[in-house]
């Protein structure tokens, strides 16, 4: 990712990792989270809609990424929007339990209360897994599309723009149920990382994973597809030749 984003991702960005199921969005986001914790040594909030906090801990341990110490030190905290399904009797000290994540206003309020408590101003990051699952929870009288866009716009304004705290959100796309929302959502956000199975290989029954930077406001970036594989230590690039556009090929002059 450093190769395609040579100057990094701006702190005032809300970035979506979008792609089909199984393409590697969650692993890519988890690796970004671990890098932020270990390398950058900055506080992080993980908003989980798709599973309980223990599921993320187990996933990251499978890659050799120990996050227990960051939880113990308060550098990493969860905004738990999943466990309401299980009615837990006890909540870990590193997790804020949301009783009704269908109420997007209460989720947003809890989120920015946590950023205040963790002194996240010009430091840290927020990770959301996933926007798609959040969409399925929210039920309002007004149209879902506009309600969800208002929510994302509010996060973008209060987090990346006001506090310089970047947001990274996974999103399952394309899904027919949210086709209308996707176009508007992609217009609103600052960055889009597409994650996919290479269609040429998929036609032959091979699932080859790739990502590209479709959009990143305020940052120079390459847009070619990067091929990668998920190993026991995380994501590793599979070097392939970078495609060259026909117009970019050097011209040869004819000898007289």
Q: Does the domain made of 14-194 have the CATH classification 3.20.20.70?
A: no
Q: What is the pLDDT of residue 242?
A: 61
Of residues 5, 42, 35, the one with CA closest to residue 218: 5
Give the model confidence (pLDDT) of 95-116 as tens digits: 999 999 988 889 999 999 999 9
pLDDT at 87: 76
Decide: helix, strand or coil at residue 30. Answer: helix
Predicted pLDDT of residue 182: 80
Tell me what pLDDT residue 250 has. Answer: 45
CA distance 234 to 114: 29
Per-domain residue ranges for the chain? 14-194
Q: Model's pTM, two decimal places? A: 0.89
What is the maximum alpha-carbon separation in the chain? 86
For the chain, 256 residues long, the average pLDDT of each consecutive 10-residue run is 94 96 94 95 96 93 95 96 84 90 91 97 96 78 64 94 97 72 87 95 90 96 95 90 53 41
CB-neighbour burial class of residue 7 (10 A; exposed 0-12, middle 13-18, buried 19+): exposed
């Amino acid at each position: 990712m450093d190769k395609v984003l040579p100057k990094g991702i701006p702190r005032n960005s809300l970035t979506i990792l979008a792609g089909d199921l199984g393409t590697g969005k969650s692993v890519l986001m988890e690796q970004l989270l671990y890098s932020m914790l270990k390398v950058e040594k900055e506080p992080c909030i993980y908003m989980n809609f798709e599973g309980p906090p223990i599921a993320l801990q187990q996933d990251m341990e499978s890659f050799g990424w120990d996050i227990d110490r960051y939880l113990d030190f308060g550098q990493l905290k969860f905004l738990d929007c999943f466990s309401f399904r299980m009615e837990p009797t006890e909540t870990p000290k590193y997790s804020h339990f949301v009783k009704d994540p269908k109420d997007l206003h209460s989720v947003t309020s809890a989120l920015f209360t946590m950023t205040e408590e963790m002194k996240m101003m010009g430091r840290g990051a927020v990770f959301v897994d996933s926007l798609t699952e959040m969409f399925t929870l929210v039920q309002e009288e007004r149209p879902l599309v506009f309600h969800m866009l208002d929510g994302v716009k509010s996060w973008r304004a209060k987090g990346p723009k006001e506090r310089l705290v970047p947001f990274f959100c996974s999103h399952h796309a394309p899904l027919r149920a949210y086709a209308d929302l996707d176009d508007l959502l992609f217009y609103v956000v600052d960055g889009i990382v597409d994650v996919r199975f290479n269609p040429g290989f998929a036609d032959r029954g091979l699932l080859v994973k790739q990502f590209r930077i479709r959009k990143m406001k305020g940052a120079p970036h390459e847009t070619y597809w990067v091929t990668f594989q998920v190993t026991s230590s995380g994501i590793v690039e599979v070097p392939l030749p970078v495609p060259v556009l026909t117009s970019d090929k050097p011209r040869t002059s004819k000898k007289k």
